[in-house]
Amino acid sequence: MIDREHIERALSRLPRIEAELSSPATAANQKRFRELVQEHAALKRLAARAQRFFTLTADAAEHRALLGSEGPDADLRELARAEIADLEAALPAAERELLEALLPPDPNEGRNAILEIRAGTGGDEAALFAGDLFRMYNRYVATKGWKLNLVDASTSDIGGYKEVVFSVEGRDVYGTLRYESGTHRVQRVPVTEAAGRIHTSAATVAVFPEVEADDDVEINPQDLRIDIFCASGPGGQGVNTTYSAVRITHLPTGAVAQSQDERSQHRNKEKCLKVLKARILDARRRIEEEKLGKARRSQIGSGDRSERIRTYNFPQNRVTDHRINLTLYSLNRVIEGELEELVAALRQHDLQLRLAEAQQKA
C-alpha cells in the first residue's frame, strides 16, 4: 500500500534543498553540493511519478462513481467503462515506477568504475578468454560513449591476458557494470586443441566503484611499500628502458596495485593509488554490509568473484546468466560488446529483489 503522507513528507524537503543549492556556501562544498543535486533529482523524479499514479487513481475512482450513478446514458456509461479499462491497465506500471522512486538510491550508482579481469582455470585458453572479455567490455564502453583507461596488463605467451586492470569513466558506469563481478565460464574448442574437443575454462571479473576526491579514504604513506621496475610487454620485451612501472602494496590490508601502461612513473603511481583506494573502499563497504546484516540479494551486484555468474557456450552460440536463469542464443553479438539486453535484465531483477525487500520491511 502506497502511503501518500509519506510521499508528501519526503517531497516537503524540495524547497529546503533548492534553497541550500542556491547558497554560495553550498557551492563551495562540492561534496555537499553533489549530494544535494542527487537528492533533488531523486525527489523530482518521485514527484512526477507520484503525480501520475495519484492522477490515474483519482480518474479511475471518478469514472467508477459515474458508473455507479443513475444519471449517465448508455453511451456515456460505455465510454466510462472504456476509460476505466485504460486507466486500470496503466495503473500497475505507474505504481511500480512510484515504488522504484521510493527506494533509497545507491550512493555508488553514478560513480566511475575499476575493473579487473583475471584468467582462472584453463591455462592458456583461460588467458585467451580473459582477452575476449576485455575486448567485449572495451566495445561495450565505446557504444555507451564512456572512456576506458588501461591501468595494467599481464599478457600470456599465446595472446590474451593473465590479468588486466582498467578504469571506465562516464555516466552511471558503476551502476551499469557492477553486475559483471563474478566468475565467467567459457565452453569451446581451444585453438590449441588438435582433437576438436570442447574445453571449459574460466576468468574472474571484479568491479569496484572508483574513489572520489572527497571520499574519506586517506592512506598513510608509511603504510605503503612502493616498488619501481622496468615495464615489460608481451614476451618479456622491454616497453621502455626507464624504470617507470610501479607496484604499491598497502601493508595493513595486503592490497596490491600495479601499473606499467604509462611511460611516466608519476602517472603510473597515480593509477596505482586510484586502484588501491577503490579496493580499500570496496572492502570497507563489504564489512559495513556484513555488520548491518544486509542480504547480498542473490549475489546481484555483490562483487563476489567466487560466484559463477555466466557461461559462454560457443558451439551453441549460447550465453547463460545463472543468477537470473536467462539464456540468449546470440553469443556472437554479446562477445562483440552487445551487452545491453543482459545488463537490462540484471538491473530489472535486482530492482525486483530490492522492491520485495522493501515491501517485507513495510
Residue range 311-318: average pLDDT?
A: 96
Q: 139-153, 164-178, 249-263: lowest mean pLDDT where?
A: 249-263
Assigned C-alpha cell, 137: 567490455
pLDDT at 355 over 60: yes
DSSP assignment of 1-19, as one string?
A: ---HHHHHHHHTTHHHHHH
What pLDDT sits at residue 214? 67
What pLDDT sits at residue 157? 83
216 three-class SS? coil
Angstrom distance (rounded) from CA 241 to CA 313: 42
- Nearest 10 degrees: Cα torsion 293, 296, 297, 299: -170
Residue range 266-280: average pLDDT?
A: 87
53 three-class SS? helix
DSSP assignment of 76-118, as one string?
A: HHHHHHHHHHHHHHHHHHHHHHHHHHHSPPPTTTTS-EEEEEE
Nearest to 204 by CA among 265, 133, 139, 138: 133
Residue range 292-316: average pLDDT?
A: 68
Residue range 214-240: average pLDDT?
A: 70
Label residue 162 by pLDDT band (50, 70, 90). very high
Q: Which range scores top for mean pLDDT: 4-8, 95-99, 204-208, 233-237?
A: 204-208
pLDDT at 237 over 50: no
Residue whose C-alpha cell reads 550512493 in the numeric block? 107
Are the C-beta atoms of residues 120 and 100 closer than 8 Å to each other?
Answer: no
H helices of 145-217, in order, are 173-177
Nearest to 129 by CA among 189, 170, 87: 189
Q: Residue 282 burial by CB count (10 A; 0-12/13-18/19+): exposed, middle or buried?
A: buried
Q: What are phi and psi of 288, to 5 degrees?
A: -65, -40
Instruction: Encode pLDDT of 94-141 as tens digits.
Output: 988 898 888 887 778 888 999 999 999 888 899 999 999 999 999 999
pLDDT at 36 over 70: yes
What pLDDT sits at residue 297? 44
pLDDT at 301 over 70: no
What pLDDT sits at residue 303? 47
Are the C-beta atoms of residues 309 and 302 closer than 8 Å to each other?
Answer: no
Residue range 284-309: average pLDDT?
A: 62
Instruction: Encode pLDDT of 317-337 as tens digits.
Output: 999 999 999 999 999 999 999
Q: Measuring CA to CA, how many Å separate 303 from each of 12, 284, 308, 319?
A: 36, 13, 12, 20
Residue range 160-166: average pLDDT?
A: 93
Residue whose C-alpha cell reads 487513481 in the numeric block? 57
Label residue 234 by pLDDT band (50, 70, 90). very low
pLDDT at 174 over 80: yes
Are the C-beta atoms of residues 105 and 302 closer than 8 Å to each other?
Answer: no
State the chain's mean pLDDT as an integer. Answer: 85
Higher pLDDT, 282 or 200: 200
196 three-class SS? coil
Percentage of the chain with pLDDT > 70?
A: 88
Residue whose C-alpha cell reads 574437443 in the numeric block? 197
Nearest to 137 by CA among 118, 117, 154: 117
What pLDDT sits at residue 345? 94
Angstrom distance (rounded) from CA 300 to CA 306: 13
What pLDDT sits at residue 218? 78
Residue range 216-235: average pLDDT?
A: 76
Label residue 241 by pLDDT band (50, 70, 90). low
Q: Measuring CA to CA, how many Å separate 122 from each of 79, 118, 125, 127, 257?
A: 66, 12, 6, 8, 24
Higher pLDDT, 63 or 290: 63
What pLDDT sits at residue 117? 96
Assigned C-alpha cell, 215: 571520499
pLDDT at 295 over 70: no
Residue range 227-246: average pLDDT?
A: 64
* Alpha carbons within 13 A on the beta-carbon side of 28: 3
Nearest to 234 by CA among 167, 184, 185, 164: 164
Nearest to 108 by CA among 210, 189, 11: 210
Helix (H) or strand (E) holding 42: helix 30-68
